[in-house]
Structure 1
Amino acid sequence: MKKIFFCLVLIVFVFKISAADNTSDNTTDTASSKINDTLQYGIESEIVDLLKDIGQSPNEYIYQKLFERYNDALLLDTKIALTDFFSNSKNLPQFVSDRLFSDASSDLLDRRLETSLLNFLGKTGGIKEGNFLLSKLDSSDNIIKNITADAIGKMKVPELGQLLLQRLDDADKIEEKFLGPDIKAKLIIFFGENKSLEAVPYLKKIITDKTSDKYLVMFGMVSLLKIGDVSSIDIISENLKNEDPKIQEYAAYAISSFKNKEALLPLKKMLLHNNESVRYYACKGIVLNEDYDSISNLFYKFKQDPSKKVQEEALSSLILFDEKGIERIKDFMKGKKYNYTHIGIISAAVAKKPTVYCVAYLIGIYQSTDKSGKDIIARNVVSAKDNKIDPIIKELLGSEDYLIRIGALKAVYQIENSTLWETVEAISKNDPINAVKLNAKRFLDLRNNLLKSSK
């Protein structure tokens, strides 16, 4: 079963590579002919089916034809499908945006189409569209309000921040402007996505108000994190005392994601929290902030935290501290056998941030473990992109398992500036398994083509 899985992963990877040149621009004669013919002569269901083949960056001619088919569409599903396609497209012509904005402004819209149009405005719109969406918050239809709030939360229009703050203030003071907590929670996401410094006082007020809805508090803390307001760390920390475990978890996530010395003391305290998710995020935050003074704390958590989830994250964190963390693990594991969970966590951490020391450590584990352990290491490290991982990939290239050798060839191809291409060349000529030789030759050809195209 493991071999079948490894083969499937490889097949998908090779297919993606071979298809990479024919995804978004559809420049081949056959693809262009099919698209042009369908746009010209196809019925509406064919147009909808065609959209998945066009890609996100069609040329101007295709945009024009799609626009014409949108204008002429009689079926609601066709208009919705085209609207959703335009929402995810790049370099959208202005005439398309103008028409969809005009349609969104109509009072005679089916709700499904209106949902798609509002989503389109949120994903692609500027200040004009933002102002329009703010006006839709006055709708008497609560579903439309929710859809609008979702759309505003997706916008990347910083200049809308002050206007949104005013609208939220009105919601608290003017009965006709009332917005429920579910809608407000979606709206405040905007402030984090746009790094709206002007919203910091409002967000701090929300997360400290004991009467605030839990989702407002949770999303408010994340928005303060995304804005990068270090002064809010202490205020967020107070929510670690909240009786709701989800609020505790969101507070822990926010604190652990600040890379700032102000987070160090709260992170240490979080390691002592009764909520395992809080301790889990504390491990992550300590690594992010490179707090070497907390290695002993992490080591304790690895050895005997009551939560397996925390033990595993502490182990991963120790690996990411490189030599100083790994030495503690090595001392503890003397005379003991690494189990498969250990091997999986260690190899995943090394693949994430390889160094000379941790790669050498992993090679030692690889050489001493059994076939199942080797398979776990192989699955994890073949996804690495840093050439510091090369020594362990070289071990895989020499594996007795031909599937591991093929996986290692894939790894060499995707590693930046790998030092192992001479080894791949030798494998393409000398490997005893024909499938391995063919894969080596294929990756060599792909690399050569990339080198030629970059000149």
Structure 2
Amino acid sequence: MRLVVERGSRRRAAMVGLLVGVATLWLPAQQLPDQESVPQQSEEDPFAVPETGEELGIEQQDEDQQLRAPIDDWRDTLMYGIDSEVITLLETLLEQREDRLHQEIVDLYDSSRNPRLQRRILDFFNEMRWDGAETQALRVLSEPREHPNDLLLSAVRYVSAAVESPAHETLQALHGVADSPQMMLAETAIRAIGLRGGEDDIGPLLNRLNDRRTPSALRAAVVLALGELRAVDAVDELIQISSNTSEDGTVRRYAADSLGKIGDPRAIDTLSALVSSDDTLLRAYAVNGIGHFEGEEVERVLTNALRDSFWRVRVSALQGIARHNMTDAIAAVIFRAERDPEVPVRSQAFETLSALDDRRARTFLQDFVQNERNSEALRISALQKMLEADAAAHAAVIEKLIDAEYDKPQSRILDQIGRILSTSETTVPNRIYDRLLHHPNFVIQIYGVRAAGRHGLSGLRARVSEMAEEPYHQAVRRTARDALERM
């Protein structure tokens, strides 16, 4: 049967061809198609077939797309994108520290019924430290039973991290969440009260602390909150807790930490004794606590703690040394930066040296990051701490590093320099950004363009304008057009 069908199809095809040929013979001469003009169709013919290799309108559409600045695409995604696309976009905006679309994101939050998206939005504002979504967070906190726990947690964490002076209603709502039977919710809310509350919140927290029915996890959160509130009225109770070997270990450690934050001198003797505890974590918290006080005895304790066998104790000591600008301890800090067996300790040593106001510290860091015999990972760690502390102060070293790394393929150090400078709140001389703008790698170019736009560096406008056109990479052109709008 199939052979018959195929034979019949061929017969019909032959018949159609014959009829077309006959019809062509009868066409008037002026209607015969001109062989040379066949590819050239009338521009007004809506059914004209494009030339080979072209698709109608595609080139122009691509060019129009390239002309759009990234922020235009981002706005479109916020307006029309599916939730998963918006969530991906939020990660991009966070990475670039993009803050021009906050109101559009708030509007999207208000119109969305997807708690997962709402949670991601609050997390985004949390990381950006933007307090303009307090109203949205309050709506969640005020009706805890109407929202999933993960959205509630995000709302609490947002207020805790981003809203420096919450409204009275927001604090009251936090107290309500602190009564939740969900332990993690209650703990997080109590800590948020400590960070954002005031004197009026100390009394209720002390009542919780003295209520022996309060679970240990909540007692620990209350102890931390009292420290954040600098609750002098809680000092005697906290001294007793930290010294009580029968007390829960976590609660004791947090009590030592809070005694340091409160800063009442009555706690010094207790903390000094805890530095010798057999509990390694308690020693770390005690060193951190005593690091909030001043005096020769405190400095002696911190310096000796750099020799402790537990790495977290050494980290706490380094933090205390930075807090007090203990330049007399620079030699010991440099020793830890060069030779400590634990990476977190070396990283903290770099950070401490970056914070110390001393030429020896700066010289060590600058020499360390330029020495190619050192581990690349450690060089990057030191570089990050230096530039995050004060990029402008290390401009000369940045230039030397750029010179050394400029022609290396896939240089991680050059990438880190570009990444940090593109998101930093401080500026360096324009010539440094200009080096990034002229680098052959388009990723490095983008870092330079972002920095120029972020800081409105009009002196680089001509170069950025060039990069907004061909033959630069499409991503570079799009970023350049966005930067020009901000310059």
**Any stretches of 5+ residues in structure 2 without a counterpart?**
1-88, 123-132
Measured against aligned partners, the alpha-carbon deviations of 1:299-320 in whole angstroms (never above 9, x if no partner) come to: 2222323334323432343344
Where in structure 2 are the equivalents of 1:9-88 lying within 5 Å?
A: 16-17=98-99, 19-25=101-107, 35=111, 56=133, 78=146, 84=152
Distance 1:183 1:20, change over 3 A: closer
**Structure-2 residue corresponding to 1:140:** none
Distance 1:93 1:83, change over 3 A: farther
**Any stretches of 5+ residues in structure 1 without a counterpart?**
1-6, 39-45, 71-75, 98-119, 138-142, 172-176, 448-455
Aligned partner (choices 201, 209, 212) of residue 247 of structure 2: 212
Measured against aligned partners, the alpha-carbon deviations of 1:62-121 in whole angstroms (never above 9, x if no partner) come to: 97xx99xx7xxxxx9746679949877899999xx7xxxxxxxxxxxxxxxxxxxxxx87
Where in structure 2 are the equivalents of 1:233-252 lying within 5 Å?
A: 233-252=268-287
Where in structure 2 are the equivalents of 1:149-168 lying within 5 Å?
A: 151-155=189-193, 156-162=197-203, 164-165=205-206, 168=209
**Structure-1 residue corresponding to 2:339:** 304
Where in structure 2 are the equivalents of 1:192-211 lying within 5 Å?
A: 192-211=227-246
Aligned partner (choices 344, 348, 352) of residue 388 of structure 2: 352
Distance across 2 between alignment mates of 1:53 and 1:309: 30
Distance 1:366 1:251, change over 3 A: farther
Quick check: 1:407 aligned with 2:481? no
Which residue type is aligned with residue 429 of structure 1?
E
Distance 1:377 1:337, change over 3 A: farther
Distance across 2 between alignment mates of 1:15 and 1:353: 18
Distance across 2 between alignment mates of 1:178 and 1:320: 44
Where in structure 2 are the equivalents of 1:400-439 lying within 5 Å?
A: 400-415=440-455, 420-429=457-466, 432-435=471-474, 436-439=476-479
Distance across 1 between alignment mates of 2:451 and 2:385: 16
Larger RCO: Structure 1 or Structure 2 (Cα < 8 Å, ≥ 6 residues apart)? Answer: 2
TM-score norm. by structure 2 comes to: 0.61
**Structure-2 residue corresponding to 1:445:** 485
Question: 1:394 Cα deviation (Å)?
Answer: 3.8
Asked if structure 1 preserves the Cα contact closer than 8 Å seen for 2:366 and 2:397, the reply is: no
Asked if structure 2 preserves the Cα contact closer than 8 Å seen for 1:359 and 1:391, the reply is: no
Distance across 2 between alignment mates of 1:403 and 1:54: 27
Distance across 2 between alignment mates of 1:380 and 1:123: 38
**Structure-2 residue corresponding to 1:387:** 427
**Structure-2 residue corresponding to 1:265:** 300
Question: 1:265 Cα deviation (Å)?
Answer: 2.4
Question: 1:235 Cα deviation (Å)?
Answer: 2.7
Asked if structure 1 preserves the Cα contact closer than 8 Å seen for 2:119 and 2:151, the reply is: no
TM-score norm. by structure 1 comes to: 0.65
Question: 1:22 Cα deviation (Å)?
Answer: 0.8
Quick check: 1:276 aligned with 2:306? no
User: Could you say what secondary structure the match of 1:242 adopts?
Assistant: coil
Which residue type is aligned with residue 363 of structure 2?
E
Aligned partner (choices 378, 395, 403) of residue 418 of structure 2: 378
Aligned partner (choices 381, 390, 397) of residue 361 of structure 1: 397
User: Could you say what secondary structure the match of 1:382 adopts?
Assistant: helix
Distance 1:179 1:54, change over 3 A: closer
Distance across 2 between alignment mates of 1:326 and 1:86: 41
Distance across 2 between alignment mates of 1:80 and 1:153: 20
Distance 1:279 1:395, change over 3 A: farther
Distance across 2 between alignment mates of 1:8 and 1:52: 12
Distance across 2 between alignment mates of 1:295 and 1:93: 44
Distance 1:278 1:409, change over 3 A: same
Asked if structure 2 preserves the Cα contact closer than 8 Å seen for 1:188 and 1:219, the reply is: yes
Which residue type is aligned with residue 297 of structure 1?
A
Measured against aligned partners, the alpha-carbon deviations of 1:128-169 in whole angstroms (never above 9, x if no partner) come to: x69xx7xx79xxxxx578876664444325224245435644
Measured against aligned partners, the alpha-carbon deviations of 1:263-289 in whole angstroms (never above 9, x if no partner) come to: 422221111111112112322322232
Distance across 1 between alignment mates of 2:244 and 2:186: 26
Which residue type is aligned with residue 184 of structure 1?
R
**Structure-2 residue corresponding to 1:337:** 373
Distance 1:341 1:147, change over 3 A: closer
Distance 1:382 1:195, change over 3 A: same
Distance 1:260 1:433, change over 3 A: farther
Would you say how many aligned residue pairs link Structure 1 and Structure 2? 369
Distance 1:193 1:274, change over 3 A: same
User: Could you say what secondary structure the match of 2:401 adopts?
Assistant: helix
Measured against aligned partners, the alpha-carbon deviations of 1:196-218 in whole angstroms (never above 9, x if no partner) come to: 11111211221122332211111
**Structure-2 residue corresponding to 1:101:** none
Asked if structure 2 preserves the Cα contact closer than 8 Å seen for 1:123 and 1:154, the reply is: no
Which residue type is aligned with residue 158 of structure 1?
E
Question: 1:390 Cα deviation (Å)?
Answer: 5.5
Asked if structure 2 preserves the Cα contact closer than 8 Å seen for 1:208 and 1:235, the reply is: yes
Measured against aligned partners, the alpha-carbon deviations of 1:232-281 in whole angstroms (never above 9, x if no partner) come to: 3453243222222222232233344x274564222211111111121123
